[in-house]
A = this chain, B = another copy of it.
Amino acid sequence: MLTSVDADLIRALADPLRLRIVTLLAKETLCTTHLVEETGAKQTNLSNHLKVLREAGVVETEPCGRFTYYRLRPDAIARLAGQLAELADSARSAADRKRTCP
């Protein structure tokens, strides 16, 4: 049985800036200020994208005084990777299965 690919999850990663954020967070846990420095984007803009990532379960927050740390949730990424790998496997075994022309 083919587990379907999580559409919301993949859509959350499809934005260039969000992908950039995720790549940065894969190296170390950062707070919004750091991300503003690293990406050069406006704080408001980042906050919006971080909200999307949070709601998709890609990142989790940890308040630290008046700062908010953002940490990647490896399981979410790994789950998507697994779904895609499964999809690729399914495609490999179905390569020569061809429905006849109508």
Contacts and interface: CB of A to CB of B under 8 A. Distances in A.
A51 interface: no
A52 interface: no
B69 A33 contact: no
A84 B90 contact: no
A97 interface: yes
29 contacts: A5-B13, A10-B10, A10-B14, A13-B14, A14-B14, A22-B87, A26-B87, A26-B90, A26-B94, A27-B97, A28-B97, A28-B99, A30-B99, A31-B99, A34-B102, A65-B101, A67-B101, A69-B98, A72-B95, A73-B91, A74-B91, A74-B95, A77-B84, A77-B87, A77-B88, A80-B84, A81-B82, A81-B88, A82-B85
